[in-house]
Amino acid sequence: MQKFILSVLVENKFGVLARIVGLFSARGFNIDSLAVAETEDPCVSRMTMVVDADEKTLEQIKKQLNKLIDVIKVIDLTEKEYLDRELVLIRVKIDSKTRDRVIQVIETLSAKVVDVGRDSLAVEEVGDSKKINATLELLRPFGIMEIVRTGKIVIQAGKKE
């Protein structure tokens, strides 16, 4: 089992999201994360999915997706050159003793404090998986109260020649 990234272009029509998610649940495919929105063409939406599967299952997933009438194209990004991003909001516990150290840690990352509470801070971080994981690891010792993630979005790398 490993994680694969699929970028699926679909007609921006009523029920498309339900159809794809329904397909996955009906066939027992696992979705790790899902992000969907309009593209440069308002009639077309893009769904970026991180799926947890083995190679044979991935083949079935791609074929079943292609079978759906509203699916225009299925791109398997795992083997391609790509850039990935995710936005994460993290609520970190602070008290009078830890506050300064937490803010110091945040400053060494590119993260921002977006909200200050009585005993917590909300931190925003944007970046690829490496950066997001690093940020979470550095903040974990202080006590993470809540994590809200958008799920990965991916864009293919431009042709270099």
Least Å distance, CB 74 to another protein, is 11
CA distance 19 to 23: 6
For another protein, the closer of residues 15 and 158 by Cβ is: 15
Least Å distance, CB 153 to another protein, is 22
Contact between 158 and another protein per CB under 8 A: no
Binding to another protein (CB under 8 A) within 9-38 occurs at 10-11, 14-15, 18-19, 22-23, 26
CA distance 78 to 81: 8
Least Å distance, CB 3 to another protein, is 22
For another protein, the closer of residues 61 and 139 by Cβ is: 61
Binding to another protein (CB under 8 A) within 98-157 occurs at none
CA distance 2 to 52: 6
Q: How many residues does the chain have?
A: 161
Question: What sign results for the dihedral spanned by CA atoms 75, 51, 4, 54?
Answer: negative
Give 138's contacts (C-beta < 8 A, 6+ positions apart). 105, 109
For another protein, the closer of residues 22 and 117 by Cβ is: 22
CA distance 60 to 109: 40
Contact between 59 and another protein per CB under 8 A: yes
Residue 45 in tokens: 């939406």
DSSP reduced 3-state for 63: helix
The contact pattern for another protein, residues 61-100, with x = CB under 8 A and - = no contact, is --xx-xxxxxxx----------------------------
> Using CB under 8 A as the criterion, which residues of the chain lie in contact with another protein when the complex forms?
10-11, 14-15, 18-19, 22-23, 26, 59-60, 63-64, 66-72
